[in-house]
Amino acid sequence: MSTAARGPLHGVRVVELAGIGPGPFAAMMLADLGADVVRVDRPSGPGLGIDPAHDVTNRNKRSVVVDLKSPDGAARVLDLAERADVLVEGYRPGVAERLGVGPAECHARNPRLVYGRMTGWGQDGPLAERAGHDVSYIAVTGALGLIGRPGEPPAVPANLLGDYAGGSLYLVVGVLAALHHARATGTGQVVDAAIVDGTAHLTAMIHGMLSAGAWQDRRGANLLDGGCPYYGTYETADGGHMAVGALEDRFSEQFLRLLDLADLLDARGDLSRWDELRARIAGRFRTRTRAEWTAVFEGTDACVAPVLSLREAPHHPHLAARGTFTEHAGLTQPAPAPRFSATPATVRTGPALPGADTEAVARDWDVPALADGDRPAPAADRAHRPDDHRTPLGRPSRKAHQ
């Protein structure tokens, strides 16, 4: 494989201290872009609670197993950090320091290192030491309160909005910016990526609209939160749903005509008739199946699309044509994004199995001590081994803060 075909970050070395959620996802993004990501797994096994061979967030990485609580555990990680460009960790504040692999210890060995820290609440503040999960973080930023129908509890958007959008993506942006600075100046730094900060940042446009009086501070009453009858979802005759985004006049006009609701064209800009419009539109959508409505709106600019399931999405004609999803080693998964004209990112390897790459990493990174000591148990055995530190969901309780 040519250098160009390995992605724009080919040659960048990343150490990932194993965790769950946004840290691994951010490290996967760096690996997708071509970085040599070495994941330092725990002897106790994977934290996600699924067979590691199916954990797509560990694709394109290599894995070594290090017990950071052993006498020489920190030294092995510091040996890797000395040879790395980036380190990513997702512990609670102070844990990495107590383990001997905090920023001060790493920078003493490698002043150019970009030290990326992924947490929910951040490295300081009244809640920094508290546990939490995605839904906790997006709740206090106001983002969760935006989502859902009025009069009902807010709808939980899986863990996409907080963990990945407000967390992983901001960590990656920060790491790449700090890496650029380190290469220009020779000085590394710490990147404090807190999910609360990133999620709050995502609401910038809405805060501007709120300030201008163009957004009501309540759910389901605005242009983009389902309050507008031209922007939302509707149930079809077979229990499916269609997503409508016909905001502009020219799009909403086409939308209404295709619904055979042209008599409502003069009501498009009348907010007092939104409830009437929504009821009429909902009634029309319930007269046909999702497939039938998909055919009606096919090839138009009415901005209507079928709501697909995770298993259906890879087969959508547009996504299939673009290769938005790919299959590797029998796993259907999203392809790397975004796309690069000169240095395309690819899925090069499947999910790294804990400890499977120890000897290769020891050789390639010139850290012979990494291969010393007891061999980890086979990955297949560890995947099904009970872990006293996991919650019933398979999540390590001490890491719930991420």
| Model pTM score | 0.90
Do the Cβ atoms of 258 and 264 come closer than 8 Å? no
Handedness of CA 173, 174, 176, 180 (dihedral sign): positive
CA dist 110 → 182, 230, 281 (Å): 11, 55, 62
- How far apart are alpha carbons 141 and 155 in whole angstroms? 15
pLDDT at 381: 40
Handedness of CA 309, 315, 320, 324 (dihedral sign): positive
Beta strand 13-17 with 86-89 is: parallel
Averaged in consecutive runs of 10 residues, what is the pLDDT profile of the chain (402 residues)?
79 96 97 98 81 95 96 97 98 97 98 98 97 97 96 96 98 98 98 98 98 96 93 97 96 96 88 92 98 98 98 98 96 97 96 96 95 53 32 34 43
Question: CA triplet 256, 260, 266: central angle to 5 degrees?
Answer: 45
Do the Cβ atoms of 74 and 111 come closer than 8 Å? no
Q: Does residue 180 have an active-site annotation?
A: no
pLDDT at 49: 79
Checking phi first, is residue 21 left (phi over 0); if not, alpha (psi -120 to 50) or beta? left
- The DSSP code sequence of 302-359 is S-EEE---TTTGGGSHHHHHHT-EEEETTEEEEPPSS--SSS-----S-PPPTTTTHH
Question: CA triplet 190, 192, 198: central angle to 5 degrees?
Answer: 145
Set 55, 85, 163, 197: catalytic member: 163
Set 107, 133, 181, 316: catalytic member: 133
pLDDT in tens, 141-178: 999 999 999 999 999 999 999 999 999 999 999 999 99
Q: Which residue, 117, 114, 136, 118, is CA-closest to 127?
A: 136
Q: How many helices, marked H, and strands, marked E, lie in the chain?
A: 14, 11
Which residues 6+ apart lie within 8 Å of 350 measured at CB? 53, 59, 328, 329, 331
- How far apart are alpha carbons 240 and 264 in whole angstroms? 25
Helix H or strand E segment including 86: strand 86-89
pLDDT at 219: 95
Q: Where are the alpha helices (DSSP H) in 239-273?
A: 249-258
- How far apart are alpha carbons 396 and 390 in whole angstroms? 4
Which residues 6+ apart lie within 8 Å of 392 measured at CB? none
How many C-beta neighbours within 10 Å does residue 268 have? 16
CA dist 387 → 39, 42, 215, 355, 393 (Å): 19, 11, 48, 17, 12
Q: Does residue 318 have an active-site annotation?
A: no
Helix H or strand E segment including 202: helix 195-202
